[in-house]
Amino acid sequence: MTTANDHRSDAATRGPGAEETELPRSTFRRPRLGLLEAIIGVVVLAVVITGAMTDRFFSLDNARAILAAAASVGITAIGASLIMIVGSAVSLAIAQTATVAAMVFLFTEHFGLGVAILLTVLAGLGMTAIQGAAVGYWSANPIVLTIASGFALGGLATWISGGSTVYPKSTNYSALNATPLGLPVAVYVLVGIALVVEWILRRTTSGRQMYLIGENAAAARAAGLPVGRVTVIAWALFGVCIAVTAVFLAAFNTSATSSLGGTLTLDATAAVLAGGTAIGGGRGSALRTLGGAVLIALISDLLLLRGFSTGQQLLVKGLLVLFVVIAVHLSSRKVRR
Amino acid sequence: MRQFLARPERLVPGVALLVVVLVFIFAPLATGDDLTKFDIYNALQGFAPLGLLTLGLGITMIAGEFDLSVVGTYALGGMLAVQTGQSSALLGVAVAVAVGALVGAVQGGLIARLKIPSLPVTLSTYIALLGLTSALSGGLSKTYTNPAATLWVDKAVGVVFSPRSLITLAAFAVAALVLGFTKIGRQLRAIGGDRRASRVAGVRVDRNLVGLFTVSGALAALGGALLSYSYASANPDPGLQPLVLAAVAALLGGVSLTGGRGLALGLLAGALSVALLAQVAAIISLPDYTTQLLYALLLVVVVGIDAPGLRQAVERALARLRAGAR
């Protein structure tokens, strides 16, 4: 069965719509992001000005609320930027993975907090590393694969919970809801994870190879880079990030149903895109994603304070992400020419 | 016959439909319930909205794109039809389809002219459309108070059909004719297969893409409009489930996510398979998670068929076996 598909194995790993690499892209030339920075600058300026005119926007309580909102999405989004950088585009199974991980946490929580977190992280890592192996070693299409995993994990979540709510046997988790120095624990973890992932991307061999593989998987393979292994590492770290989010989700809700993950899939992907990571892979950073998550939280909060409905907030969020996507694309194309 | 089935765009939907039809016929025997005409009617009712979404998503996948926003247009279409069609059902559908086509045309324009990958564009449009729908309705479900239209769309025609499922079947018939007998079908597959080459060969890629997304938006809005007439209410957030099922149907229909492959009749077979499967699950009252695991299994097979790395590994293993035997 030699079809026309065989020579497109590179395109297959990049996900749909990304096939059209018109010219060979140069690696490691930092693209100038003039347009993107201009748009973000205008948005931030607009937020500051309307914020100044909004009652209670510039207050300590509100800053805390924004950071807490950013943490709930940001930790997962940082993980999701890793798989986007390595060229696996997006995962459509984030919410289901988080739900299963949260259930693992609540089931094991009475063994002690440390043990439970460790087991949850291992569960999250396992769930995504398998998918990473299929993408990295076999060039499986990440979109189809993660839709399949979403079904499998959603089924698993309903099955292990018997379709009802999972309650913890003890209250060991309450330490996670503490607010040292007035900020939720999750915010400190968010900053910590952002710094660690940024360090991995910039200073470790695997991290730097992620960019190369995302740029051009076929070339990376030809150059002898361990494409499969590095892809698995990126996905495994992604799973760790989802598991950490799930631990906080479970602790915050003190129970889990099969719909606990909610809209995490879309929210995290939107934050990654708003941070200016290119869907085709090879570009992006943990700190930029952190910025994207904070920006979305900031704007949602501002719109909420000014009395806009949830629908209007979503509309603005979608348009913001669309503008950033267009700006990132245009600025990267200019460099390539 | 063997040659006819050798191509994945015929083999995958053929096998999928065959398996599901067999399950559909034998599952009631196993549980002792009889298969009634009503079950077929119900399966086709489920097929009606799913089929339109599958067709919209599927034709963009043939051209190598992925229109995630169809489920947003679907929600918006349903809401617009309910809000503008209270007195005249036809007007509601017309508004919904026109807006859906407009949304699709704008996205197609962005994707074609700026050469942006469709996934991030349609993902952000999906979020925006969901927001718009929710803003239009104040975040609440809207009731449709035109019982004549509600009764009409679900009226039984020829025992197992309804106007809703017939409209969907008609859309597939038109798509099969256009894709099979005009140059548009070949051009779409060419665009999906190798875009640069098709541009060089004189295919008007940009115009085709804009048209494609316009049609996909219109189909999704039509599906949403008819569904909300049938339910007599519009839901501002259908979730990702309709999109995921449409993607499953398109993939079972033999479309490849890398583009360049797919037939309208394959998409029809894929959508029918998913709708029949859902109805079987309802008849023998399978627990929800078994259907989910079944979909996962089906998709894993599809992933396996489409994974170049896996295919190479299998071919290498076979070659080793053959060399060893010699």
**Does A161 have pLDDT greater than 90?**
no
> Half-sphere exposure (CA, 13 Å, Cβ side) for B118?
29
Complex prediction ipTM: 0.84
Partners of residue B274 in chain A, C-beta under 8 Å: none
The per-residue pLDDT for B33 is 67
Confidence at A19, pLDDT banded by 50, 70, 90: very low
CB proximity A6 to B under 8 Å: yes
CB proximity B170 to A under 8 Å: no
The per-residue pLDDT for A305 is 86
**Does A36 have pLDDT greater than 80?**
no
The Cα–Cα gap between A159 and A169 comes to 19
The per-residue pLDDT for B212 is 92
Question: Quick check: A147 and B260 CB within 8 A?
Answer: no
Lowest mean pLDDT among A130-144, B26-40, B276-290, B296-310: B26-40
Lowest mean pLDDT among A28-37, B194-203, B223-232: A28-37
Q: Tell me what percent of the residues of chain B surpass a pLDDT of 90.
A: 25
CB proximity A277 to B under 8 Å: no
Q: How far is B127 from chain A (nearest CA, A)?
A: 5
Confidence at A177, pLDDT banded by 50, 70, 90: confident
Whether A107 contacts A85, CB under 8 Å: no
The per-residue pLDDT for A30 is 52
Over residues A214-254, the pLDDT tens digits come to: 888 888 888 888 888 999 999 999 999 999 999 998 888 88
**Does A25 have pLDDT greater than 90?**
no
Which of A3, A89, A318 has its CB closest to that of B124?
A318
The residue behind tokens 């939907």 is: B13
Tell me how far the alpha carbon of residue B121 is from its chain's centroid. 19
The Cα–Cα gap between B206 and A20 comes to 13
Over residues B85-139, the pLDDT tens digits come to: 888 888 989 999 999 999 999 999 999 888 888 888 999 999 999 999 999 888 8
Over residues A57-111, the pLDDT tens digits come to: 788 888 888 888 898 899 999 999 999 999 888 888 899 999 999 999 988 888 8
**Does B5 have pLDDT greater than 70?**
no
* Bridge partners of residue B157, in order along the sequence: B161
**Does A334 have pLDDT greater than 60?**
no
Burial class (CB in 10 A: 0-12, 13-18, 19+), B123: buried
Which of A89, A140, A329 has its CB closest to that of B303?
A140
Q: How far is A305 from chain B (nearest CA, A)?
A: 16
The phi and psi torsions of A64 (rounded to 5 degrees) equal -60, -45
Whether A186 contacts A68, CB under 8 Å: yes
Question: Quick check: A16 and B66 CB within 8 A?
Answer: yes
Partners of residue A280 in chain B, C-beta under 8 Å: 117
Confidence at B280, pLDDT banded by 50, 70, 90: confident
Mean pLDDT of A131-159: 87
Pick the residue with more confidence: B23 or A287?
A287
- The whole-chain average pLDDT of chain B stands at 85
Question: Which of A 192-221 lie inside 8 A of B, CB atoms?
Answer: none
- Can you tell me whether residue B260 is helix, strand or coil? coil
Write the CB contacts of A11 (distance below 8 Å, at least 6 apart in sequence).
Answer: A18, A19, B258
Write the CB contacts of A252 (distance below 8 Å, at least 6 apart in sequence).
Answer: A176, A177
Whether B72 contacts B133, CB under 8 Å: yes
Give the H/E segment covering residue A284.
none
The per-residue pLDDT for B320 is 85
The per-residue pLDDT for B6 is 60
Whether A103 contacts A166, CB under 8 Å: yes
- Can you tell me whether residue A256 is helix, strand or coil? strand
The per-residue pLDDT for B278 is 84
**Does B285 have pLDDT greater than 70?**
yes
